[in-house]
Structure 1
Amino acid sequence: MCGRYTLAVSPAQLAARFGVAPLELQPRYNIAPTQPAPVVRASNGAREVALLRWGLIPSWANDAAIGARLINARSETVLEKPAFRTAFRRRRCLIPASGFYEWQQQTAGKQPFYFTPVDGDLMAFAGLWEQWRAPDGVLLESYTILTTAANEVVAPIHDRMPVILPPDLDALWLDPAADVARLHALCLTPPLVALRVYPVSKAVNQVRNDGEGLIQPVTL
């Protein structure tokens, strides 16, 4: 699964990677479920950056609390699950990220590791978004991150990882007319992105902690 990730990016980097208007974003080093974070989605034939809540809330849900359990969508079953199948066909998005964390069970407890592109570029996680209207009429938009089998870099630490799309597939992923079967096939292949990995402080375990220190290597 993917339960925490980072996004520290300049407006120019965001604009260049996703073809959107430059947007100033506060660096985030511990993005956690139920928090708002930026996604890139199609809107009236263009692309926009929108702040959505992490943890997809299906339109038919009785309570927003379900979103905390739907932070990830398994690619293998995404077209079967009622919570995700309509969004996969109609409401796909890209989730900008600088890196992500995974945990490995060790003798001293769970140890967090940080994964980030070798070239320092931004990543785009494949995501889905949804709209939910609360009983009081307030509209809440939320998203989930698609996951797949881990590639050779992530597998020694965890068996799952986010679906990471290369830039040349951004347009296809956001295209409302794209072939669903083709998109689904893309999600089932472990990403080939070149990642580096290293252990980091357990301070990342606490949601209240943020700051660049969280992604600094530690010695085990």
Structure 2
Amino acid sequence: MCSHYQGIRKREQIERYFRVRGQPVPPRLDMWPRYTGEFIRRPPEHDAGDEAVPEREIVLGRWGLVSALTRQANLAKAEKLSTFNARSETAATSYTFGNSWRKGQRCIIPAESIFEPDWRSGKAVPTAFRRADGAPLGIAGLWDRYRNTAGEWIDSYTMLTINADQDPLWSQYHRPGEEKRSVVILTDGAYDDWVNGAGDIRDYLRPYPSGRLIAEPVPR
């Protein structure tokens, strides 16, 4: 599970690694649930036949998915739920995430690092996880679009997670006795197929090689 990550400050990395034209730096790069962050998707208008529509676009959205199926009467409640992560095992049948899953509304969340607590000392030590090669992380997610109480359309997104009890790296983190989980970090070569909806979504829900990641304590 991830409830804190760092967005990408260097706009040239957005263009180089994700092949999208980087917009100005978003309001926040130190991301927590319900903040507005960046995600990358295949444009909803892509299948309209307009050649001007790019293969990928980067947009701003709410980190914490709200389903398009949410009724206005239930919107305030839905916006308070912890929907910044989606369990991959149950997302397909979830009311919140099922609409995005069925429609293949996949996205990539670009991140410089993600943070998890290290409890091995008996206290929670914030730890940053980054790619060892210095490239940004591309985290697999789902997105949806809902209408708020003012009648405005709001994009929102979530990160997909998998069980990590047996992972040599991620199993060392989180509270003792709790299930260990990690976000789904995509390999660079999977970006196109992921956003384009190619293949079974479950084929991508695999651990990222732990040897390609670095975990470092974060000074308070």
Query: How would you bin the TM-score normalised by the shorter chain?
Result: 0.7 to 0.9
Superposition pairs for residues 84-99 of structure 1, below 5 Å?
84-90=97-103, 91-99=105-113
Q: 1:141 to 1:26 in 2, by over 3 A?
A: closer
Deviations 1:144-200 (A, max 9, x none): 000112332222113111100111111111114x23xx221321x222251111211
* Aligned equivalent of 2:154: 140
Distance in 1 between the 2:120 and 2:208 partners? 26
Answer yes or no: is the 8 Å Cα contact 1:8–1:26 preserved in 2. no
Q: CA deviation at 1:89?
A: 3.0
> Alpha-carbon deviation of 1:26?
5.5
Q: What percent of counterpart residues are identical?
A: 30
Q: Are 1:72 and 2:85 an aligned pair?
A: yes
- Shift, 1:4, TM fit: 0.3
Which is richer in strand?
1
**How many residues were matched structurally?**
198
Give every structure 1 segment of 4 or more consecutive aligned residues whose post-TM-superposition deviation is greater than 6 Å: none
Q: Does 1:53 align with 2:62?
A: yes
Q: 2:185 pairs with 164, 175, 178, which one?
A: 164
Matched residue, 1:205: none
How many angstroms apart in 2 are the aligned matches of 1:142 and 1:23? 17
Structure 2 unaligned spans of 5+ = 47-54, 175-179
Q: Deviations over 1:2-26 (max 9, x none)?
A: 0000123422211111111133325
Q: Compute the TM-score of the two structures, normalised by the length of structure 1.
A: 0.82
Unaligned runs of 5+ residues in structure 1 are 203-220
Deviation at 1:106, TM superposition (A): 5.6
Whether 1:112 aligns to 2:126 is yes
Find the partner of 2:140 among 120, 123, 126: 126
- Point out the more displaced range, 57-66 or 112-121: 57-66
Hey, what's the Cα distance between the residues in 1 that align with 2:156 and 2:110?
A: 15
- Could you report, residue by residue, the CA deviation over 1:113-134 in whole angstroms, capped at 9, with x for unpaired residues? 1111111101110011111112
1:97/1:124 contact within 8 Å kept: yes
3-state SS of 1:84 partner:
helix
Aligned-partner Cα distance in 2 for 1:26–1:142: 15
Residues 6 and 114, structure 2, Cα contact 8 Å, conserved in 1? yes
Moved more, 22-31 or 125-134: 22-31
Q: How does 1:25-40 map to 2 (within 5 A)?
A: 25=25, 30-40=30-40
Aligned to 1:10: 10
Match of 1:174 in 2: 195
**Partner residue, 2:177:** none
The answer on whether the counterparts of 1:14 and 1:23 sit within 8 Å (CA) in structure 2 is no
Distance 1:161 1:72 in 2: 10
CA contact (8 A) 1:128 1:143 kept: yes
Aligned match of 1:215: none
